[in-house]
Amino acid sequence: DAVEISLKDIDQLARTSFPLCMRHMLEKLRENHHLKHGGRMQFGLFLKGAGLKLEDALAFWRAEFSQKVGSERFDKEYAYSIRHNYGKEGKRTDYTPYSCQKIISATPGVGDHHGCPYRHFGEENLRAALNKMGVSGHPLEEIMDKVKNRHYQLACTLTFEAAHGVSCDTGINHPNQYFSESQNMLK
């Protein structure tokens, strides 16, 4: 669809409408001014799917990475892969954002921040991250119960419901679906 998001709204949108996996990567990117390849792919394609245009995407990543590696190195080593994700380089494939299933089956290593927090965080970190989203008490315990039973997408669906105060009958199966359902509700 033709929905567009702009650079200046990303942090606000993350607070209201990003699923936990994407909130986490934005936080780490802001903190470290860097994300490894797996994170750049997962988060970059999500932002593209959410409606971030190529020029804004380049400005977004450059603003962070240049603080770490300098803008010259950013332009030389990283800008290409962002344009690539938008189908502007290489085979010019227009890459689609990853589904939950793909994200859940990722195998993030040390220093990686991609993947699905319900699947890849330890219990303590997950509880803390959910608390930060304003989820606590009975809903939190229900979510942790789903996680124990390896129902990660159900855990994410329950988080959506707790964070938005509504039921989500379709269930979450894609981070961009989480985002657009949240945005539709807030309209």
- Which of 17, 19, 35, 51 touches ligand SF4 by CB under 6 A? 19
Based on CB atoms, which residue is closest to ligand SF4, 34 or 114? 114
Interface segment toward ligand SF4; rule CB under 6 A; list 4-12, 16-24, 29-37, 139-147:
16-24
Interface segment toward ligand SF4; rule CB under 6 A; list 8-16, 19-27, 64-72, 122-130:
19-27
- Which of 61, 65, 74, 152 touches ligand SF4 by CB under 6 A? 152
Q: Is 175 in the site for ligand SF4 (CB under 6 A)?
A: yes
Based on CB atoms, which residue is closest to ligand SF4, 5 or 156? 156
Based on CB atoms, which residue is closest to ligand SF4, 60 or 152? 152
CA distance 129 to 77: 32
Q: Is 86 in the site for ligand SF4 (CB under 6 A)?
A: no
Question: 90 to 119, contacts with ligand SF4 by CB under 6 A?
Answer: 100, 103-104, 116-118
Least Å distance between CB 48 and ligand SF4? 16
